[in-house]
Structure formats: C-alpha cells, structure tokens
Amino acid sequence: MEENLTRFGISGAKVYQKGAFSLVDLLVEDGRVFVFSVGTLPTDIPVFDMNTCFVFPGFTDVHTHLREPGFSYKETVETGTKAAAHGGYTAVCAMPNLNPVPDSVEHLKKEIEEIEKQAVISVYPYGAITIGQKGEALSDLEGMAPFVLAFSDDGKGVQSDDMMRDAMKRAKALGKMIVAHCEDESLIPKGGCIHDGAFAKAHGLIGIPSSSEYAQVARDIELVRETGVRYHVCHVSTKESVELIKKAQQEGLSVTGETGPHYLTLTEDDLIDEGRFKMNPPLREKADQEALLAAVNDGTLCAIATDHAPHSEEEKSKGLAHSNMGIVGLETAFAVLYTDLVKTGKMSLETLIDRMATSPAQRFSLGSGEIEDGGLANLTVFSLDEAYTIDPKDFLSMGKATPYAGKEVFGKCLLTVANGKIAYKEENIHA
C-alpha cells in the first residue's frame, strides 16, 4: 500500500523553502526529506508526480480540540488527526477541556495513551492551568511540565488575577508558556451567544461585548510585565486586543497571539441563525476583521489557528441562542484563506504559509516549520487550481458544523507526510 511507503519521491512541484518557492524534487527516506535537483531523484523509488502543484511545510495548528478522553462522541484522536492530515496539518496542539481534565500527571497520561494509540500526525497536549479548569486551585504544573507543550484553561478564562499571577510565576520557573483564553465572565450577560452588535439587536439575541476579551488581555499583559512569562493569546477577535498585543511587543514583552480563519473571512454581517455560525469568541465587526488581517500580515499575530471544536449534530442544531459554541476548521482552513485572502490580493501566499506553518512551529518550539534538506519529513502537497465546493459529508472529522458549507474554494490537499509517513493521500494520487 502506498500509505505505508517509507522511501519515495515527489517531483514536479514548486517547493516552499526559506520564504520562497523553487522547482526541486524531494526524496522522503527514513523519516527525513532530502532536496534534489529536478530530474536527479534515485531511479529505484516510487515517485509522486505533482506537476503544477505546491509543496508546503506541514501546517501546525496550536489550537485544536480532539475531545479524547471524555467526549469521543464528538471526535476521537484518530478522526481528529486524520482530519488534520486531510487539511495539510502535520502537528496539532490539543486543548485540555477533556474528561478527565489534564490537571495532573495521572489524568494527563490518559490523554497521552490515546494519542500514542491513535494519532496519525504529531499531537502536543496542553496541561490545564487550574484543577478541573474551575479556576479555584492551580493544577500540578510542576508534575506535568515535562509532558506538555504549555499551560492553558482554554474554553474558560482564568477569572482570578491572583490565580493567573501565580500560574504565570510557576510557568516562568518551569520554562513553559501560558496560552490564554481571554474572557472576563463578569462582562458577559447570561445567555450571551453572538457579538453584541447589529445582528444581536435586530434579532433579539443576547450579545457578547468585545470588552469581555480585551479587558482580560489587558490584565494578563500587566501580569506578564510583572512575571516575565512567555504568553500567547488564543483566538484573538477584537481590534482592541490587537492593539494591546502590538504595544506589548513594542515594549519587548514575550507576548504573541493567534486568530482563526473565520475571524479573517467572516463578520457578524455573515451570520445566519444556525449553530454552524456560533463560536466563542463570536464573529465580530468589519473593523475588527480589518485589524486582525493587518495584524496577521505584519506579524503582530504570529499564527492562524483553527480552534477546531467538533460537536455532535444534535448539539449544533439549536440555532445561535442554544447550540454549543464551536465549529470545525482543520479541513477547510487553508482553502478558505487561500480563496478569500490570497486570491483576492489581501495576503501573499508566502505570508499565509508562514502563519500556518513556520511561525507557529517556531513560537511553540516545535521545530523550524520549514522544509530543510535532511530535516524531518513534515510536508503537504496542494493543488491550487482546482475549484471545489466544501461539503461536510467529505470531512474525516466527526464534526460537521462549518459556516463554509456550500462555499466554492480553491486549494485541495493531495498528500500529507507526517514524520516521514503518509498521513493522508487523495484516492486518485499514485506513485
């Protein structure tokens, strides 16, 4: 089976290396990739002819929900990582809102066991900041530190200033990053479901104000200034948060952030009263979208992360007011961003690849995020010319809720190689 190949070539494609594209051939062997001049690959290996296609470094998603252990009816490590490979990802960072919550070594081991058994790409778990993500007492940060990427309570903001200060001090001592879901719950009315803007007012829905995000970003940056910890803001959605992050960086603080494909390509003006448009933070206003795009382009936000959050069909069938928060994104991220931003001239292809692959990998110390001669073979091959329609029935993820259903896009993943092994291959692609 081609999926089991460990030594093979890729020819005819433009390969992204060090910020530019060149026409070279690639040999994958023993988990590593080697760069050859065109036409000089060994003759005794199977070769994928990828004429007119593009080879990118494998994408790194620093914000993914794989739902195991505890919620395998939504997603499993197997289905989530297969979906990631289908989208061109070779590494994902798994958020801790699980059951049990990874707040101790014992609980964390349950997640790691599932990853080791099922994952088809690299998976890096987060440890929870607080026990049970309840914000009442700190997790066993010292015990988990050797086994986790960073610490996060994603899904909830840490409400207590003192709790976050203590977490930052301990993370700093451990050399670990704090990755924060910024949400001041005291600023959100009960039942808040979408942005507190025109759509909410017109449809009688309870809004979530932008201040609930940026107020906590401001608080955390003040604590970063005090503690010196490395700090990263999850799913940035407001222009005010962007400005706070930019000022912190200008000050020399180790502060970065991410935003999601949906915040870069959709606003509250695109809302439909269906669960597939409900996520947290919510889609906001055009001015926020413009600020986010500028921040991705200039590097203020170093990563585009999907916040892939699968739920059951029933959980997403209750409209904006009552559906669960969260959409899936691993299998649509590149195509949507390439179609709406690159093809329209709002972002260069090189910038998009950097923010999906190189910069997040480097910020989170997950390797170079580059295709390097002799380096680990983590890469993905895309055809950029073929138009197709996004259909959730084609997803490998168990989650199907996407605001992009029915959207025509360009950018189809044909092959993904993770750690030298074929993690995804289109059926009609053969060596």
d(CA 209, CA 197): 8
CA–chain centroid gap for 353, Å, is 13
Average pLDDT over every residue of 70-79: 98
d(CA 425, CA 431): 11
For the question of residue 391 being annotated catalytic, the response is no
Nearest residue to 99 via CA among 133, 143, 146: 133
How far, in Å, CA of 243 to CA of 256, rounded?
12
Say how many residues make up the chain.
Answer: 431
Q: Identify the pLDDT of residue 1.
A: 52
Considering the chain, what is the average pLDDT of its residues? 97
Instruction: Point out the catalytic residue in the list 307, 340, 385, 394.
Output: 307
Query: Could you report the per-residue pLDDT of 305-348, keeping only the tens digit for each?
Result: 999 999 999 999 999 999 999 999 999 999 999 999 999 999 99
Please state the rounded mean pLDDT for residues 408-412. Answer: 98
Inter-residue contact 120 to 76 (CB < 8 Å): no
Question: Rounded to an integer, what distance in angstroms lies between the CA atom of residue 392 and that of residue 72?
Answer: 19
Which CATH code for domain 2-55+375-425?
Answer: 2.30.40.10
How do strand 379-389 and strand 54-57 relate by DSSP bridges?
A: antiparallel
Query: Which among 93, 101, 79 has a CA at the least distance from the CA of 148?
Result: 93
Strands 178-180 and 231-233, bridge-based pairing: parallel
Question: What secondary structure letter does DSSP report for 154?
Answer: T
Global confidence as pTM: 0.97
CA angle 134/140/145 to nearest 5° reads 120
CA–CA distance, 108 with 99 (Å, rounded to integer): 10
Cβ atoms < 10 Å from Cβ of 250 = 9
Q: Which residues, 6+ apart, have CB-to-CB distance to 49 below 8 Å? A: 11, 12
In sequence order, the 6+-apart residues with CB closer than 8 A to the CB of 324 are: 275, 278, 311, 315, 316
DSSP 22-89: EE-EEEEETTEEEEE-TT-S-TTS-EEE-TT-EEEEPEEEEEE---TTT-TTT--HHHHHHHHHHTTE
DSSP-derived secondary structure for 313-369: TTTT-SHHHHSPS----TTTHHHHHIIIIITTTSS-HHHHHIIIIIHHHHHTTS---
Tens-place pLDDT, residues 3-54: 688 899 999 999 999 999 999 999 999 999 999 999 999 999 999 999 999 9
Residue 141's H or E segment, with its range, is helix 141-144
Q: How much is the average pLDDT of 175-188?
A: 98
Specify the DSSP element, H or E, that contains 240: helix 239-250
Query: What are the domain boundaries of the chain?
Result: 2-55+375-425, 59-363
The pLDDT, as a whole number, for residue 386 is 87
In 95-172, DSSP assigns E strands to 122-125
Report, at the CATH architecture level, how domain 59-363 is classified: Alpha-Beta Barrel (3.20)
Average pLDDT over residues 86-94: 98
d(CA 104, CA 101): 8
pLDDT higher than 60, residue 372: yes
- The DSSP H or E segment spanning 220 is helix 211-227
Confidence of residue 258 (pLDDT cuts 50, 70, 90): very high
Contact (Cβ atoms closer than 8 angstroms) between residue 130 and residue 144: no
Question: Checking DSSP bridges between strand 408-418 and strand 303-304, what pairing results, if any?
Answer: unpaired
